[in-house]
């Protein structure tokens, strides 16, 4: 689950933070920050764990932006990310940038 917070950054970007667990073994080193950049160049920062699935990140972003997640895709290093894979599967690290784009459907029109 994600909750938006206004960041203290000069660019006034949003910071989306996950709920902290009450688990005393929760190690904050497990968390990374991901930057999600849209087509306007605006960046939203998300605090997540590398074991989170891409779909969870996409849903959290879309919930805050009040848009339908099925209309968007995430890209990392030129590769579309599958929603059922984890950030770790794609070797996404702290401060990496993911690009969010609208889902293109259709094909060749004859």
Q: What is the pTM of this model?
A: 0.72
Predicted confidence band at 109 (pLDDT cuts at 50, 70, 90)? low
Q: Could you report the per-residue pLDDT of 74-85, keeping only the tens digit for each?
A: 999 999 999 999
Q: 50, 13, 56: which is closest to 35 by C-alpha?
A: 13
User: Which one is the CATH code of 2-102: 1.10.1740.10, 3.10.20.90, 3.40.630.30, 3.10.20.30?
Assistant: 3.10.20.90
Query: How is the chain split into domains, by residue range?
Result: 2-102
Taking the C-alpha atoms of residue 13 and residue 16, their distance in angstroms, rounded to an integer, is 10
Report pLDDT for 97.
98
Q: 109, 87, 107: which is closest to 98 by C-alpha?
A: 87
Task: Tell which wins on pLDDT, 64 or 26.
Answer: 64
């Amino acid at each position: 689950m994600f909750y938006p917070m206004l960041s203290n950054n000069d660019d006034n970007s949003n910071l989306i933070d996950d709920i902290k667990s009450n688990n005393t073994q929760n190690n904050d080193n497990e968390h990374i920050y991901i930057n999600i950049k849209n087509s306007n160049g605006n960046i939203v920062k998300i605090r997540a764990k590398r074991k989170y699935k891409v779909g969870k990140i996409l849903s959290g972003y879309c919930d805050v932006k009040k848009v339908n997640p099925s209309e968007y895709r995430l890209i990392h290093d030129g590769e579309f990310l599958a929603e059922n894979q984890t950030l770790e599967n794609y070797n996404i690290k702290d401060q990496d940038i993911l690009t969010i784009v609208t889902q293109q459907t259709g094909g060749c029109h004859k």
